[in-house]
Every structure is written in C-alpha cells, then in structure tokens.
Structure 1
Amino acid sequence: MINNPITQLEQLTLTGASKNFLKETARWAKFLAIIGFILIGLMLVFAAFSTTIFDMAAKMQPGIPDNLGLIMAITYLVLAIIYFFPVYYLLQFSNKMKKAISTKNDETLANAFEMLKSHYKFIGVFTVITLSLYVLLFIVSLMGAL
C-alpha cells in the first residue's frame, strides 16, 4: 500500500486535546463574532445619525462641508456591509464547530472549517486590496509632490 498524502489525511483523527482546543477556539470565535456584530450595529446607528450630527456641526463650526454627513453615512454603511461577511463567517465557524464536536459529524466539521477558510480568505483579500490602495495613494501623493 502506497502512503500518499491524501490517504494519510483521510485517516486524520482528532485527539481529546485537539477537540478541547477546537471547543475553546469556537468559544473565542463566537465572542469575537458577537463583538463584531455589536460594532456593526454601532456603525449602522452612527450612519443613521451622521447627517444630523454633521449638519449641526457645520452650523456651529464654519468650514465643515455641508455634505460631510452624507459622505460619512455612506462610508459607515459600506464599512458595515464589508465587515458583516467576515464576522458572519466567524459565527458560522463557531456554531458548526460546536455542533461537529458534539455530534461527531465529519461533514459538519468540514463545513466548520469551510467557514473558517472563508473568513480568512475574505480577510486576506481585503488586506491585499487595502495594501494596494495604500501603495496607489502613496504613488499618487508622490506624483502630486513633484
């Protein structure tokens, strides 16, 4: 019998210590997801009231653009939408991991790891996009300084 990596992985088993680590990871993931959803809620509340807040600020402090409230509202709505997906994936990972460990279901375990993969993939792609925008901003600012 040939021992190729695929055959070895198919026979992977979780030890008691591994299960405990995964349970604890799932608990922390749920905690972080709940905090994430609370922050998303705060972003949405701020987006809802930002036009009022910045309109009042513009009346008190000359020089603040009139449409700053609308710009801030749109910005916070976009950020809340973007932030929703990794937080959702993290919550799904937590719920599915807890279920997989309690039911000892391999398919549920695979689904939990799929959610964790989606979470990290989203964070990775978002990081690459953000770093690319920083590099582009740096290049544009250098061109403007010349």
Structure 2
Amino acid sequence: MEVYNDMEEEVIELHLNESAKGFLREAAKWAYFLSILGYIMIGFFVVFALFAGAIFSSVGQMMPMGQMGMFGSSFGMIITFFYLLIATLYFFPIYYLNKFAANLKLAFKSNDSAALASSFEYLKSHYKFIGIMAIVTLSFYALFIIGAIVVAVAAAFNH
C-alpha cells in the first residue's frame, strides 16, 4: 500500500496471511463468474435492442385498423435507444469487475504486487462507477417524486 505525503512517497508493506489470500482468491472467482454473466446480459440487451424496432413495428401492423400505427415504430426506436443505453452503462462496471478478477488471479499466480495493486484499482473503479450511478438514480427518483407532488398539488388547486 502506498501513502502519499507532500510529494514524498512512503511505502508501507502489508502482508497477507493464508486466510486473507484464500478470501481474495474466492472473491476473484466470484467476480470473474459475475463478470461473465454481466457480459452475457449485455449481449441480451444489445440483441433485444436491435430487434425492438422490428418487434414493435410488427406488433403495430397486427393491431386492428393500425391502432399503434406510427406509435409502434417510434416506441420501438425509444426501446432500442433505452436498451443500448443500459447496455453501454452496464458495460463499464462489468469490465472493471472482470479486470479486477483477472489481475487478482494473475497477482496470486505470479506473486506480482503490481498486478495486485492494479486489481484493487479496478475494484475501486467498479465501486466508484456503481456509487455514481446510484447517486444519479436516486436523484432521478427524487426529481420524479417532487414532480409528482407538484402535479398533484396543482391538480388539487385546480378543482
């Protein structure tokens, strides 16, 4: 572990006992497994996004008298964009998780401190991305709730 103080680099060595190494090895296996599942899910999102336009336009054509009409293809484009956006946002934390697992495995295999440090850097990036996304999501929820309250109050005063 490196600690930085006023442009001077102080290096403090940490030693991992066997149980800590075992925990980290198991964490690397689970992180790798979850990253593979994440890549598969991203693939599903992309495939669905690519076919969403065709699916919704065909549903619109099957409706009696073309009730969906233009809405079907527009809705399909919105769904396509939404799922591609989700796939793109989902890619980064999955990538960081995969790199964490791969570098951690390499660190233990070759007893490489630089690979260990790199793995923890990717883990930090993974959690940082997830944290920022949580803040953004909570902010959207708060705006939605405030907007719903404003609309409800405005509707109550108009009656």
Write out per-residue CA displacement over residues 55-100 of structure 1, whole angstroms, 9 at most, x where no aligned residue: 1112223347230000000000000000000000000000000000
Separation in structure 2 between the aligned mates of residue 68 and residue 41 of structure 1, nearest angstrom: 21
Instruction: Report the equivalent of 1:39.
Output: 41
Q: Which protein, 1 or 2, shows the higher relative CO under an 8 Å CA cutoff with sep ≥ 6? A: 1
Instruction: Report the equivalent of 2:122.
Output: 115
Query: Which amino acid in structure 2 is aligned with residue 99 of structure 1?
Result: L
Task: Give the strand-richer structure, 1 or 2.
Answer: 2
Write out per-residue CA displacement over residues 42-65 of structure 1, whole angstroms, 9 at most, x where no aligned residue: 000000000000111122233472
CA contact (8 A) 2:101 2:119 kept: yes
Write out per-residue CA displacement over residues 98-144 of structure 1, whole angstroms, 9 at most, x where no aligned residue: 00011111111000000000000000000000000000011011111
Please report how far the alpha carbon of residue 11 of structure 1 lies from its aligned counterpart in structure 2 after TM superposition. Answer: 2.7
Instruction: Report the equivalent of 2:52.
Output: 50
**Pairing 1:145–2:152 present:** yes
Instruction: Report the equivalent of 1:3.
Output: none
Instruction: Report the equivalent of 1:29.
Output: 31
Which of 85, 88, 105 pairs up with 2:112?
105
Q: Provide the aligned length of Structure 1 versus Structure 2.
A: 140
Q: Percent of pairs identical after alignment?
A: 42
Q: Secondary structure of 1:85's match?
A: helix
Query: Which amino acid in structure 2 is aligned with residue 75 of structure 1?
Result: F
Separation in structure 2 between the aligned mates of residue 32 and residue 57 of structure 1, nearest angstrom: 35
Separation in structure 2 between the aligned mates of residue 144 and residue 138 of structure 1, nearest angstrom: 10
TM-score after normalising by structure 1: 0.91
CA contact (8 A) 2:103 2:118 kept: yes
Is there any run of 5+ residues in structure 2 with no aligned partner, and where? 4-10, 154-159
TM-score after normalising by structure 2: 0.84
CA contact (8 A) 2:61 2:68 kept: no
Larger of the two Rg values belongs to structure: 2
Which of 129, 140, 148 pairs up with 1:133?
140
Separation in structure 1 between the aligned mates of residue 23 and residue 61 of structure 2, nearest angstrom: 55
Is there any run of 5+ residues in structure 1 with no aligned partner, and where? 1-5
Separation in structure 2 between the aligned mates of residue 13 and residue 102 of structure 1, nearest angstrom: 16
Return 102-111 or 117-126, whichever deviates more: 102-111
